[in-house]
Chain A
Amino acid sequence: MSKGTLRQILLLTDGCSNSGEDPVAIAALAKEEGMTVNVIGIVDNGDLGEQGISEVESIASAGGGISQIVYAKQLSQTVQMVTRKAMTQTIQGVVNKEISQILGEGKELEDLEPEKRGQLMEVVDELGETMDLDLLILVDTSASMKNKLPMVQEALIDLSVSLRSRTGNNNFALYSFPGKRKDVDKLIQWTPQFDSLSGAFKKMTISGITPTGPALQEAIRLVRKRMKKRGSDSDERFDLEEAGM
């Protein structure tokens, strides 16, 4: 039986948005819709800059996710770590809400006895292992990203190896932005694993603009569409009671 689905958007970028809506606002919207937005900022030739770094952090924070600034070389370990951590964080968020419902407003995990805390944490771990994950990956393919794409490709395959080792089901989709005519272009549609990504980045367009906001907006639409299609009930992402709480 399914315990529900975690929905994440992972944004990989190396620069500041310079066109369209404010990505921070769009990320906040994603959060409202029960999704999590994680952002990895890639610094290589220092092209991210202070403004870029602060944007990366703000998007993730508004999107209820995690951000990390890394060198392209460290991408593999970072991508899988950010994804896993964000999954746990989302589950913890729900569990914490649950706690304040049980213990009263403003109460936190620390107000539980260590032993009880342990039992709760076990549930969090268990859910992280068994819940399904829909992950839409959004890769910035503006000109400066070109030489980083082989590393992005490697990191995504590595991520697939990590997630496939879980018990829960995974579904990935890969999009790039800016697209040829639209805000984003589909590179790979929903699939349970990335076996080979060779060629995936071939058809993308290299461009000077970085419309991060519009791209995020399109990503939300795509995740939502999939959600509807799978006939998921209401916006309850998972049920704690069902998980043995």
Chain B
Amino acid sequence: MRDSISKKQECKLLPNQRIVGRWQRNSYRIIRELGYGATGTVYLAEGRGELVALKIASDSMSITSEVNVFRQFSKVQGPSLGPSFYEADDYVSAGGVYPFYVMEYINGQPFLPFLRQRGAEWTGILIVQLLKDLHQLHKAGWVFGDLKPENLLVTENPNCVRWLDVGGMTIQGRAIKEYTEFFDRGYWGLGNRKAEPSYDLFSVSMLFMNRGYPSRFEKTQEKSFTRLMTKFRQKDVIRPFEPVFRRGIEGKYKDALDMRSDLIQLLHGTTFTPKVSISVKPKTNITRREQKKIKQQQPSNPKKRRSLGVLESMLVASFILVVYILYLFGQTM
């Protein structure tokens, strides 16, 4: 009986396929696959007159768990606590009954690639944003759990972090439902796996670390705390954040707001070396002060300036090319 649920064939949907919910009778047209995880596949779809993200699964248990979390939040959801939830339903096909749910489509860039193109201060800024949302979540009695870059997207205009994947969200006081070792304080021997705000703040600290070590690393025989601190100091892009990182992994912050104000303080008092590839910097979201700074730093030597100009236009050209390829790709999918 149990087996019939877990062993069911995975449900694959094709572009332009139409699916209608068995209970609500709403119809959705699949556009393309966005990705898949342990509990199901997420598609970009069109329905209710807009673009939506539709997650479909073969296992109704875990997807129901996710829907439960969403339902809890539709009550408290502010403008940016994760994607908004629209509805849950079942798709009945010849292969069986497949539960699915529909949520807001978040159009954004993955967290680390976004940061890679920008100066170190951006890591701080996005995390300041994230901490505000986390605080809302904690106030509502929940903990994010599986906080990692793969579960974060950065939207354009304005650049904002949003989170995805509510699968790990846990009611405070319970045991964390889902985690990833690198971001888990239990793995590093620096705490338990009880869902409490400090659990998330540890993971937030490890987001900084991951920015410095994109392929992550494992624990060794060495004492974790010492090792993490040493590793952190070795990377220029993250070193300025050391005091905040440290308090985060030590569990010293009272709550997310506490960590946030500490980080804001730090951002104000630190000069970050700007990235050289100015052309990739987004035009929006640069404060006037920063713009001035960039101008000042531009070389006055005309020769040098020209070569930079050439580089710049090359970068712009390749950027446009990439966008164009992506566009074509999107068309054919």
Contact = CB atoms under 8 A, between A and B. Distances in A.
Partners in one complex: yes
A107 B52 CA distance: 31
A100 B90 contact: no
A229 to B, nearest CB: 27
Given A92-B2, A165-B175, A165-B176, A109 B67 contact: no
A125 B65 contact: yes
A77 interface: yes
B281 interface: no
B204 to A, nearest CB: 19
A166 B60 contact: no
Interface stretch (B105-113, B154-162, B185-193, B230-238): B185-193
18 contacts: A77-B181, A89-B6, A92-B61, A93-B2, A97-B1, A100-B1, A108-B5, A109-B60, A114-B89, A115-B88, A118-B67, A118-B68, A125-B68, A158-B186, A162-B175, A164-B192, A165-B193, A167-B173
B192 A165 contact: yes
Contacts of B90: 110, 114
Contacts of B195: 165
B88 A114 contact: yes
Contacts of B192: 161, 164-165
A239 interface: no
Contacts of A118: 64, 67-68, 71, 88
A76 interface: yes
A92 B6 CA distance: 11
Interface of A: 76-77, 88-89, 92-93, 96-97, 100, 108-110, 113-115, 117-118, 120-122, 124-125, 129, 158, 161-167
A108 B60 CA distance: 10
A117 B59 CA distance: 12
B217 interface: no
Contact of B64 (A96, A121, A161, A162): A121
B215 interface: no
A60 to B, nearest CB: 12
B2 A96 contact: yes
A204 B163 CA distance: 48
A109 B5 contact: yes
Interface residues of B, number: 29
Given A110-B60, A166-B174, 5 more contacts: A93-B2, A117-B60, A121-B61, A121-B68, A164-B192
Interface in B187-236: 187, 192-195
A109 B1 CA distance: 10
Contacts of B88: 114-115, 118
Q: Report, nearest first, the 10 A-B pairs whose CB atoms are least far apart.
A: A165-B175, A165-B193, A114-B88, A121-B64, A110-B97, A165-B194, A166-B175, A161-B186, A129-B174, A118-B68
Nearest to B176: A165
A102 B173 CA distance: 32
Interface in B1-46: 1-2, 4-6, 23
Contacts of A162: 175, 186, 193
Nearest to B89: A114
B1 A76 contact: no
B181 A114 contact: no
Interface string B125-158: 0000000000000000000000000000000000
A119 to B, nearest CB: 9
A89 B2 contact: yes
B263 to A, nearest CB: 27
B99 A114 contact: yes
B99 A110 contact: yes
Contacts of B67: 114, 118
Given A93-B2, A100-B1, A76 B187 contact: yes
